[in-house]
Amino acid sequence: MSALLRPLSAQGRGRRLVPFAAGTLAGLAFLAVDDPQSGRAAAAQLAAIGVAALVTFAVVLVPWERLPAALECAPAFGIVVAVDLVVAGSDARSVYTPLVTVPLVWFAIYAGRSALAVAIAAADTFLLGGLLVARGPVESGALRAAVLWSIVVTVVPWTVHRIVRDLRHRAALADRDYVTELLSRRAWEERLPDELSRARRDQKPLSIVLFDLDDFKRYNDRHGHQAGDALLRQVALAWGENLRSTDLLARFGGDEYCALLPGCSAADARLRAERLLASTPPGIGASAGVAEWREGEAAESLVRRADRALYQAKSGGGLDAAVAAAPA
């Protein structure tokens, strides 16, 4: 569930379309075999199956992360068009109509309001518009079915979209530390395996840094908890301003912070850690431990090595020992 509620890249949305596209393709193929059509309806069947197959292969093979974000919904619209083609051209419209809901559920979960509205409008246009341009009189049963399905494909996706949006909002609040408004430790630990998988796939380095404020308990005792919380927020703000947009900074707990640095070797991460420590607000010091991910290493092992490096930095003392790196 947490993966579903997490913000997705264009690549993530494209990959999430695979079961929807494959399911639609399987449904279209089954209905074509079970209920073969003739003439215009047969052509619509073949066209729909062809579009669904093309989209299914596209969402698997196309590197969506390299394409403009505006194209991220194009495959899902292709699935809508595929189903609409067969619904509009079939002699047994009611048999195919339920398939319209499959791509609309993807829009409801992963797309924005505008894209969802356009997809619903396209589905409704084919459901109702096909009857309006049909040759000969329209049977009352067909009209009732089209109206009822039009209500279903409008209300259900909007309801799902609102539920997912509310859940994402709650998840976003839960992912934030209430004092510093940084990522919480739980959210950071959930994202770390995903970043390790990406580093493995892209063959790029990745490092983490664990930070610990020096003598924070003494500061807290001397100035009070409110002042301590204010200092934690100041540190978070100062360090956050010195990180890249791709870096993840979180509060690990108490006076500990952690940063995830994609694309950074241990040497690069140490330089970034030193830059962050230099920006620490006056009145408090900090130490840092750096660890670069090893191929095949589990997330827990990477964090343990960074924690050992942090302990080495704190026990070493002196400015030169403020940052320690774990052995590669």
User: pLDDT-derived band of residue 320, with 50, 70 and 90 as boundaries?
Assistant: very low
Question: Mean of the pLDDT values across residues 250-254?
Answer: 89
3-state SS class at 256: strand
pLDDT of res. 204: 92
Residue 6 and residue 140 in one domain = yes
Res 227 pLDDT > 80: yes
Domain assignment present for residue 98? The answer is: yes
Q: What is the pLDDT of residues 202-219, one digit of tens each?
A: 899 999 999 999 888 888
**Residue 255, token pair as written in the block:** 């006076």
Amino acid at 222: R
Res 161 pLDDT > 90: yes
Domain assignment present for residue 309? The answer is: yes
Which residues partner with 285 through β-bridges? 214
Res 258 pLDDT > 60: yes
Res 180 pLDDT > 70: yes
User: What's the CATH code of the domain at 297?
Assistant: 3.30.70.270
**Residue 255 annotated among the catalytic residues of the structure:** yes
In terms of residue numbers, what domain contains 203? 185-325
pTM over 0.75: no
Domain assignment present for residue 180? The answer is: no
Q: Among candidates 72, 70, 135, 130, which has minimal Cα distance to 100?
A: 130
Residue listed under structure tokens 């089209």:
146
pLDDT of res. 245: 87
Which residues partner with 249 through β-bridges? 259
**Residue 284, token pair as written in the block:** 């408090």
Res 3 pLDDT > 50: no
What DSSP character marks residue 261? E
Residue listed under structure tokens 């589905």:
123
Q: Among candidates 215, 208, 232, 227, which has minimal Cα distance to 303?
A: 208
**Domain end call among 174, 206, 238:** 174
Domain assignment present for residue 134? The answer is: yes
How far is the C-alpha of 123 from the C-alpha of 19, rounded, in Å?
20
pLDDT of res. 57: 86
Domains in the chain, number: 2
Domain assignment present for residue 211? The answer is: yes
Residue 12 and residue 121 in one domain = yes
**Domain end call among 141, 174, 207:** 174
How far is the C-alpha of 230 from the C-alpha of 259, rounded, in Å?
20
Judged on CB neighbours under 10 Å (0-12, 13-18, 19+), 61 is exposed
Residue 194 and residue 166 in one domain = no
- Largest Cα separation within the chain, whole Å, is 90
Residues in the chain: 328
Catalytic residue among 175, 212, 255, 307: 255
Q: What is the pLDDT of residues 56-113, one digit of tens each?
A: 888 888 776 666 766 778 888 888 888 887 777 665 566 778 888 888 999 999 888 9
- Tell me what the pLDDT averaged over the chain comes to: 82
Residue 159 and residue 191 in one domain = no
Question: Mean of the pLDDT values across residues 43-48?
Answer: 83
Q: Are strands 285-292 and 248-253 parallel, antiparallel or unpaired?
A: unpaired
Residue 170 and residue 194 in one domain = no
Question: Mean of the pLDDT values across residues 11-18?
Answer: 70
Give me the sign of the Cα torsion angle 36, 40, 46, 47: negative
Q: What is the pLDDT of residues 261-296, one digit of tens each?
A: 999 999 999 999 999 999 998 878 899 999 999 988
Residue 163 and residue 303 in one domain = no
**Domain end call among 146, 174, 202:** 174
Residue listed under structure tokens 């750096």:
290
Res 158 pLDDT > 90: yes
How far is the C-alpha of 321 from the C-alpha of 243, rounded, in Å?
22
The highest-confidence range among 81-85, 172-176, 193-197, 320-324, by mean pLDDT, is 193-197
Residue 250 and residue 137 in one domain = no
Res 135 pLDDT > 50: no
Question: Mean of the pLDDT values across residues 226-245?
Answer: 90
Question: Mean of the pLDDT values across residues 191-195?
Answer: 89
Work out the percent of the chain whose per-residue pLDDT is above 90.
27
Domain assignment present for residue 165? The answer is: yes
Residue 167 and residue 189 in one domain = no
Residue 218 and residue 136 in one domain = no
Residue 237 and residue 310 in one domain = yes
Domain assignment present for residue 179? The answer is: no
Q: What share of the chain is helix, strand, coil (3-state, %, to 5)?
A: 65, 10, 20
Cβ–Cβ under 8 Å, residues 310 and 323:
no
Residue 124 and residue 37 in one domain = yes
Which residues partner with 214 through β-bridges? 285
Residue 189 and residue 164 in one domain = no
Cβ–Cβ under 8 Å, residues 79 and 52:
yes
In sequence order, what are the residues at sequence separation of 6 or more whose Cβ sits closer than 8 angstroms to the Cβ of residue 21? 52, 55, 56, 59, 75, 79, 103
Domain assignment present for residue 221? The answer is: yes
Res 238 pLDDT > 80: yes
* End-to-end Cα spacing for the chain: 35
Cβ–Cβ under 8 Å, residues 175 and 130:
no
Question: Mean of the pLDDT values across residues 232-259?
Answer: 91
Lowest mean pLDDT across 84-93, 117-126, 128-137, 282-291:
128-137
